[in-house]
């Protein structure tokens, strides 16, 4: 049983938010940074943690845990920022997402991916492309463009 929209075997970056494992299409990932000082922009929602300096560019950083209704990310030695490039309203936008730790890159073929259930994940189903399996554990594959779409972020101001 597979999911419409996932037709090829693709590599995914797996990472953890709290104890759960998520996955992101590796093609969307630019780089992975160690956590660095984040400048908070006032009057923005909590999940918009702020901006960082990435080799001269100012890049926004989102706290995915907060976005997904979990408690705020706490800084540990494993915390890192996954820098992704997404499509926001037709423009390529670079931003960072906080993760508690980064795991490994795995390949998952379309047959092993199931559709996300409508309830039980506590996340908006839009966010999840499908459920994959790694080492017998379920992995939620995120549709990163939807997670960071402008509608989602329009809670501002």
CB of 30 to other proteins, least distance (A): 15
Number of residues in contact with other proteins, rule: CB under 8 A? Answer: 26
Single out the residue of 26, 27, 58, 105 in contact with other proteins (rule: CB under 8 A).
Answer: 58
- With tokens 């506590």, the residue in question is 122
Contact between 92 and other proteins (CB under 8 A)? Answer: no
Whether residue 32 contacts residue 83, with contact meaning beta carbons closer than 8 Å, is answered with yes
Contact between 87 and other proteins (CB under 8 A)? Answer: no
CB of 75 to other proteins, least distance (A): 15
Binding segment for other proteins (CB under 8 A), chosen from 3-11, 13-21, 114-122, 147-155, is 147-155
Residue number, 22 or 148, with CB nearest to other proteins: 148
Distance, CA of 40 to CA of 60 (rounded, Å): 9
User: Which runs of E-coded beta strand occur in the chain?
Assistant: 10-17, 20-25, 29-34, 48-54, 57-63, 80-88, 91-99, 101-108, 128-134, 137-142
Per-residue contact flags (x/-) with other proteins for residues 10 to 49, judged by CB under 8 A: ---------------------------x-xxxxxx---x-
Taking CA atoms, 13 is separated from 1, 42, 65, 90, in Å, by 22, 32, 17, 24
Residue 17: partners with Cβ closer than 8 Å, 6 or more residues away: 64, 65, 68, 70, 73, 99, 100
- Give the interface with other proteins as residue ranges (CB under 8 A): 37, 39-44, 48, 50-53, 56-58, 60, 88-89, 91, 93, 95, 150, 153-154, 156-157
């Amino acid at each position: 049983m597979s999911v419409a929209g996932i037709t090829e075997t693709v590599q995914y970056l797996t990472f953890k938010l709290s104890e759960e494992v998520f996955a992101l299409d590796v093609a969307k990932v630019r780089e992975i940074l160690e956590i660095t000082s984040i400048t908070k922009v006032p009057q923005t929602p909590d999940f918009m943690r702020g901006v960082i300096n990435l080799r001269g560019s100012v890049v926004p950083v989102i706290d995915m845990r907060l976005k997904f209704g979990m408690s705020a990310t706490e800084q540990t030695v494993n915390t890192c920022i996954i820098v992704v490039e997404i499509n926001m309203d037709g423009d390529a936008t670079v931003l960072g997402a906080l993760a508690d730790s980064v795991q490994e890159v795995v390949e998952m073929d379309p047959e092993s991916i199931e559709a996300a259930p409508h309830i039980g994940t506590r996340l908006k189903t839009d966010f999840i492309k499908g459920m994959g399996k790694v080492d017998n554990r379920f992995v939620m594959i995120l549709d990163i463009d939807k997670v960071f779409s402008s509608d989602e972020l329009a809670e501002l101001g």
